[in-house]
Chains A and B, each alone.
Chain A
Amino acid sequence: MSLLPYMINGISVGGQYALIAIGYTLVYGILRLINFAHGDVFMVAGLVMVYATASMPIYLALPLAILVTVVLGFTIERVAYKPLRTAPRMSLMISAIGVSYLIQNLAFYITGGVPQPVSNPIPWISDQVTVLGASTKRVTLLTPVLTIVLVFLLVYIINHTKIGMAMRAAAKDFETAQLMGIKINAVISMTFVIGSFLAAVGAMLYFTNYPSVAITSGGMPGLKAFVAAVFGGIGSIPGAVVGAFIIGLCEEVIKGLGYTTFSDAFTFALLIVVLCVRPTGLFGEKVTDKV
């Protein structure tokens, strides 16, 4: 029995986790907040994709799904986090948990609690292809490529554009960033927009492989991506990506070895170990010292 198909799958799953994990890590970097609603934003993206692809052509449906997700992320920040800008961090976290439940319950209300079947929403990427003798869906190959392209784009934006510079400044020091004339609220909104956009792309790739989207569908991938972000070093984008690929790969290889039951347990055991041994993760916050 070959592990190759599992490894191909693992890289693909890792890419999907990475797209979600970046949302956690970006928001944490700037607000020091674990955005617990992020997994639910991901779920909403999946739901909207299912509804939209069923009722309109795909070239309208996918942009619409992305747009709705981005607007949702933006709105969550404006309504639930912005009023708490000067509040203790714990209040912000409680607000995030509240938003998570609110979204799930709204989704319950809209779907009637019935998992919405995913019926081949994006036909081309669901085609079967054969790589190195392993048969898989085209989406499995597309995911890591798309992830890497988006990550490079994001890193470029952060390091070489004005808004990116503002994001880095705000992540370090709100007050001084404001003294430079940076509109802090616009920068924070921007991070939520980017995070939600990537989560929407991730959702499209992720749910193509699943039979249905339920209101709790965001929970598990959200948690896994969160673990990936912590593993990589929360606040660090390369960390989140590397962490996500490692976790995705490990999970699938464990399944390939016949221990499917333990694949989730592995991820969360890893979280505990990382938090005990190296809480700053692989690429934890860089501290610049005088030389």
Chain B
Amino acid sequence: MLKIDNLHVAYGGIQALRGISLEVPDGKIVTLIGANGAGKSTTLRTITGLVKAASGSVTLDGQELLGQPIDKIVSAGIAMSPEGRRVFPDMTVLENLKIGAYLRKDKAEIEKDIQWVYSLFPRLEERSWQLAGTLSGGEQQMLAVGRALMSRPKLMMLDEPSLGLAPLVVQDIFKIIREINRQGVTVLLIEQNANMALKIADLAYVLETGTITMSGTGAELLADERVKEAYLGKQNK
């Protein structure tokens, strides 16, 4: 579905990505793990068009995305739940969901999808009239995911959904990610919480200072000594 080929990105003289290639097959959960500053966020931001690439290619079902304006990329079927959630704090939960469907014109279907998001996150329905800024961190993350779903994406990208959340909440979020995937949305997930990410991933890539150093199925990488050493900590041995 999504294919990245030899992607180079640089900003301010720093090579953030040095020719990465990866593939996100249809219907799978793919994760990209790596340390701070490895280039994970840059990869997602380049796919959405927020960051301009120096060279390479990013294609979605064969259609080139690099150089397209962001709204074209969104309507091509890519949605992102950004790092730090970034919900619109002084809009209500419902308005946040509606703005996720900004490019869509099919009112009846949008209404259906709001109900769908509410069924995934019943907490959001209870709080639909509350300002998003007053939600807890976990609820804001649910809202960010729900908002991204509202564009009915083929590919859903999540940037650090576990950031700053309590372990129990993180488990909830990951359960939902699985559920969303089961309902047919392909997922590209970035995580520092490598353990959680690898457990739900069909396919995983390890990113180090702008290059992909390892790849395999989630289970393979979970068992890999080097990955254990670098990302999972000793206690997982």
* Interface residues in chain A, defined as those with a beta carbon under 8 Å from any beta carbon in chain B: 162, 165-166, 168-169, 172-173, 175-176, 178-183, 286, 288-291
A179 touching B50, Cβ below 8 Å: yes
* Interface residues in chain B, defined as those with a beta carbon under 8 Å from any beta carbon in chain A: 48, 50, 69-71, 74-75, 79-80, 82, 86, 88-91, 95, 98-100, 102-103, 131-136, 147, 151
Contacts of A182 in B (CB 8 A): 71, 99, 102
Please name the residue on chain B nearest to A162 by beta carbon. Answer: B102
A168 to B147, CA, bound (A): 16
A288 touching B90, Cβ below 8 Å: yes
A168 to B88, CA, bound (A): 9
A179 touching B82, Cβ below 8 Å: yes
A175 to B147, CA, bound (A): 15
Contacts of A178 in B (CB 8 A): 50, 70-71
The 5 residue pairs across chains A and B that have the minimum distance between CB atoms: A288-B133, A181-B74, A181-B103, A181-B71, A176-B86
Contacts of A172 in B (CB 8 A): 88-90
A181 touching B131, Cβ below 8 Å: no
Please name the residue on chain B nearest to A185 by beta carbon. Answer: B69
A288 touching B74, Cβ below 8 Å: no
Q: Tell me the minimal C-beta distance from B138 to chain A in angstroms.
A: 12
Centre residue among A166, A168, A169, A179 by max chain B CB count within 10 A: A179
B136 touching A290, Cβ below 8 Å: yes
Say yes or no: A290-B82 contact (C-beta < 8 A), given A178-B70, A179-B50, A180-B100: no
Say yes or no: A165-B90 contact (C-beta < 8 A), given A179-B70, A181-B102, A289-B134: no
Contacts of A291 in B (CB 8 A): 134
Contacts of B86 in A (CB 8 A): 173, 175-176
Please name the residue on chain A nearest to B49 by beta carbon. Answer: A178
B91 contacts which of A169, A179, A290 (Cβ < 8 Å)? A169
Please name the residue on chain B nearest to A184 by beta carbon. Answer: B70
Kindly list 13 other residue pairs between chains A and B, CB separation below 8 angstroms, not including A179-B70, A181-B102, A289-B134.
Answer: A165-B95, A176-B86, A176-B88, A179-B82, A180-B147, A181-B70, A181-B74, A181-B75, A181-B103, A286-B90, A288-B132, A288-B133, A290-B135
Q: Tell me the minimal C-beta distance from A291 to chain B in angstroms.
A: 5
Contacts of B103 in A (CB 8 A): 180-181
A/B interface sample: 15 pairs, CB < 8 A: A165-B91, A168-B90, A172-B89, A173-B86, A179-B70, A179-B79, A180-B99, A180-B100, A180-B103, A181-B103, A182-B99, A183-B69, A288-B89, A288-B134, A290-B136
Please name the residue on chain B nearest to A291 by beta carbon. Answer: B134
Q: Tell me the minimal C-beta distance from B35 to chain A in angstroms.
A: 23
Contacts of B75 in A (CB 8 A): 181
A49 to B102, CA, bound (A): 39
Please name the residue on chain B nearest to A182 by beta carbon. Answer: B102
A162 to B103, CA, bound (A): 10
Please name the residue on chain A nearest to B72 by beta carbon. Answer: A181
Centre residue among A181, A286, A288, A290 by max chain B CB count within 10 A: A181
B88 touching A290, Cβ below 8 Å: no
Contacts of B133 in A (CB 8 A): 288-290
Contacts of A286 in B (CB 8 A): 90
Q: Tell me the minimal C-beta distance from A66 to chain B in angstroms.
A: 29
A111 to B100, CA, bound (A): 50
Please name the residue on chain A nearest to B130 by beta carbon. Answer: A291
Please name the residue on chain A nearest to B81 by beta carbon. Answer: A179
Centre residue among B70, B74, B75, B80 by max chain A CB count within 10 A: B70
Contacts of B91 in A (CB 8 A): 165, 168-169
Contacts of B151 in A (CB 8 A): 180-181
A165 touching B99, Cβ below 8 Å: yes
Say yes or no: A180-B136 contact (C-beta < 8 A), given A173-B88, A286-B90: no
A175 to B80, CA, bound (A): 11
Q: Tell me the minimal C-beta distance from A190 to chain B in angstroms.
A: 14
Centre residue among B69, B89, B99 by max chain A CB count within 10 A: B99
Contacts of A179 in B (CB 8 A): 48, 50, 70, 74, 79-80, 82
A136 to B100, CA, bound (A): 52
Say yes or no: A175-B102 contact (C-beta < 8 A), given A168-B91, A288-B90: no
Contacts of A168 in B (CB 8 A): 88, 90-91
Q: Tell me the minimal C-beta distance from A32 to chain B in angstroms.
A: 16
Please name the residue on chain B nearest to A175 by beta carbon. Answer: B50
Contacts of B71 in A (CB 8 A): 178, 181-183
A178 to B100, CA, bound (A): 11
